[in-house]
Amino acid sequence: MALVEWSDNVKISDQVPATYWPAQVIDKQKDAGLTPERLANQMRWHALPQDWQELGYQEFLPSAANLWRSSCRTPSRSSLISSTSRPTRRPARSTRPTNRRPTRARASPSVT
């Protein structure tokens, strides 16, 4: 779920985040059952710093960049799955030459 959907974006227009963000959170809590935990997860995954809506753009960028960098170093959920539960790959075919002769296509017997 994106917190700000396209239809919300049209309503927001050119408002600053400090104006639209609190209303968006309240609406999503009522309409979509947004929990504080889910909101915190979304803010983390979207690299939104604490109180980001109050920051100016020049303050926001370095804060968000630090979060982007740290999120790149954080293992994804898929990498946390144990290797024993992952499907095994078939070994790649050997590219070594074999001693077998290539087979020739046999001519099919003609019917007369």
Element (H, E) at 11: helix 6-12
Q: Would you say residue 104 lies in a domain?
A: no
Please indicate, yes or no, if residue 48 is contained in any of the structural domains. yes
Reduced to 3 states (helix: H, G, I; strand: E, B; else coil), residue 71 is helix
Supply the mean pLDDT for the chain.
77
Q: Mean pLDDT throughout 11-37?
A: 90
| Max Cα distance, the chain (Å) | 91
Q: Indicate yes or no: pTM above 0.95.
A: no
pLDDT band at 9 (very low <50, low <70, confident <90, very high): confident
Please count the structural domains in the chain. Answer: 1
Query: What is the average pLDDT across 37-55?
Result: 90
Q: What's the pLDDT score for residue 83?
A: 46
In a domain, 52, yes or no: yes
Its domain, for residue 33, covers 28-70
Q: What is the three-class DSSP state of 35? A: coil
Q: Is residue 105 part of a domain?
A: no
* Residue 16, pLDDT above cutoff 70: yes
- Tell me if 55 is assigned to some domain: yes
Task: Tell me whether residue 14 is in a domain.
Answer: no
Residue 11 lies in a domain: no
